[in-house]
Amino acid sequence: MSAPASSAADAAALYALQRAAFSAERYPSHAARRDRLDRLASLIDRHEPQIIAAIADDFGVRPPQETRLTELFVVDVALRHASRHLAAWMRSRRASTPLYLRPGRSWIERQALGVVGIVSPWNYPVQLALLPAIAALAAGNRAMIKPSEITPSTSALLATLVARYFSPGELAVVNGGADVGAAFARLPFDHLLFTGSTQVGRSIALAAAENLTPVTLELGGKSPALIHANADLAALSARLAVGKLLNAGQTCIAPDYALIPRQRAEALVQALQRAVARLYPAPIDNRDYASIIDERHYSRLVALLDDARAKGARVIALGTGTGPAGGGTRRMPPTLVLDVSDAMAVMQQEIFGPILPVETYATLDQAIERINARPRPLAMYMFGGSATERRRVLEQTIAGGVTLDDTLWHFSNENLPFGGVGASGYGAYHGERGFLTFSHQKPVFAQSRATPGRLLYPPYGERFEATLRLLKRIV
């Protein structure tokens, strides 16, 4: 199933339609917003088998359980959370009024921006398209989604289902290649959210800048897993392995390398070998283990391993029956890379696959220094450590988000903002933070009939000076 291509002209016409629809309904009621969220929930609930099949068709092998958990469950959680809190999010907020402005009153209105653009990636093609859409619709906006052309079956299904449940003036999908994506990013959206690579994120930001469109960039980077000297390797190995191998490592917040005290590195290798053998026995033939999305990405991962070997790394494939992927499945064995150096490409690039470099350190200061020497990551993980050591790491390193003693889970808490920092992106969404991302918080001041401000009117003289002296004393 291929996604029907749209043209740049189609995208522009759809944008004009949504702009007109927003102009006719600038502040949708709670009932209207709730209805849109309910329709999105029905879309997910009624078409789960089709969504699972489409994603599996794009990947080759994608366990239905992973799709149900990482795509459908996560979207369902976000929908339920938004529906439950929508009325409270919509309410205006009182703001304190300083003494010199009283008896006037101040408050903040939460107002929809207008038309929101969403450029979503291929690795979680439903979740990362719909989570921003939930926030945009809850905030009262219209939204257009440009999904990835790398997942044509899922993108085509998403377009079909969205058109069935929504008018094009409410929510719509624009499919097409890179040319359509570039034209999409240049539309004068009121906000544009992009999820993907840092390289493409830069081009998206430049395109949006032509219209001064505010942008949220959810990128990636090399997310570290810092293992303290006292960490329980038997307990953490499965958590680290699942965080790395979920969706075959094709997750923007997957741990990209592990940092462990030098004397514990071999013990970590053994613990991971045991964990992977339990979790993913015979991984290249295991239906619970996903494929790499396409040949280009598979070849890129092979090249990372070849480069590491050539530069002196030890490469260890994990799981029983590991070997070259066969039968066109594009499944790569879980792989550890030891004795790494910064000269290796695997330590310079975001991996986005089932490869985990293991870097050693002598002191905690050295570990912190190595994390800070690299671009700021989207996520960081930490296992073990005393309360003092954890606090020190949290204060001395910068990352988009953190999970302690596990991986990935901070992403799934709708009460926490999700976003990057530095090269891993800027801006955040999820929960109320997503609602605010797609809202304008409009400050309002209501003057009283009895305002003392008239004492500052011209003609200026002693009355003005006396009033200003008084105001300075009461500020």
pLDDT (tens digit per residue) in 298-334: 999 999 999 999 999 999 999 865 555 544 679 999 9
* Average pLDDT of the chain to the nearest whole number: 95
- Nearest-5° angle of CA 140, CA 15, CA 209? 90
pLDDT, position 326: 46
Q: pLDDT: is 64 or 475 the higher one?
A: 64
pLDDT, position 118: 98
Q: Which domains does the chain have, with CATH numbers?
A: 8-219+426-440 (3.40.605.10), 224-419 (3.40.309.10)
Q: Which two tokens stand for residue 296?
A: 């280009």
Q: Find the largest Cα–Cα distance for the chain.
A: 92
pLDDT, position 3: 53
Query: 170 with 180: CB under 8 angstroms?
Result: no
Q: Which two tokens stand for residue 415?
A: 């009460």
Reported confidence tier of residue 369, pLDDT bands at 50, 70, 90: very high
pLDDT tens track for 239-283:
999 999 999 999 999 999 999 999 999 999 999 999 999 999 999
pLDDT, position 321: 59
Active site residues: 218, 252
- Beta-strand pair 425-426/215-218: antiparallel
pLDDT, position 442: 97
- 427 residue type, one letter: G
Q: 3-class DSSP state for residue 362? A: coil
Q: Could you give the CA distance from residue 299 to residue 287 in angstroms, rounded to a whole number?
A: 21
- 174 residue type, one letter: V
Q: 3-class DSSP state for residue 83? A: helix
pLDDT tens track for 178-210:
999 999 999 999 999 999 999 999 999 999 999
Mean pLDDT of 86-90: 98
Long-range contacts of 89-95 (CB under 8 A, 24+ apart): 89/138, 89/139, 89/432, 89/435, 90/30, 90/33, 90/140, 92/444, 95/443
Q: What percent of the chain stands above pLDDT 70?
A: 97
Q: 3-class DSSP state for residue 351? A: coil
pLDDT, position 136: 98
The 224-227 sheet, strands edge to edge: 314-317, 335-338, 355-361, 257-261, 224-227, 379-383, 401-404
- Nearest-5° angle of CA 225, CA 231, CA 232? 115
pLDDT tens track for 117-131:
999 999 999 999 999
- 356 residue type, one letter: L
Helix then strand count (H, E) for the chain reads: 16, 18
pLDDT tens track for 25-42:
999 999 999 999 999 999
Mean pLDDT of 358-374: 98
pLDDT, position 327: 45
Residue 270 has a CB neighbour count (10 Å cut-off) of: 12
pTM for the structure as a whole: 0.94
Query: 264 with 230: CB under 8 angstroms?
Result: no
Reported confidence tier of residue 2, pLDDT bands at 50, 70, 90: low
Q: Could you give the CA distance from residue 390 to residue 200 in angstroms, rounded to a whole number?
A: 34
Mean pLDDT of 390-412: 97
Q: Could you give the CA distance from residue 420 to residue 201 in angstroms, rounded to a whole number?
A: 12
pLDDT at residue 407 above 80? yes
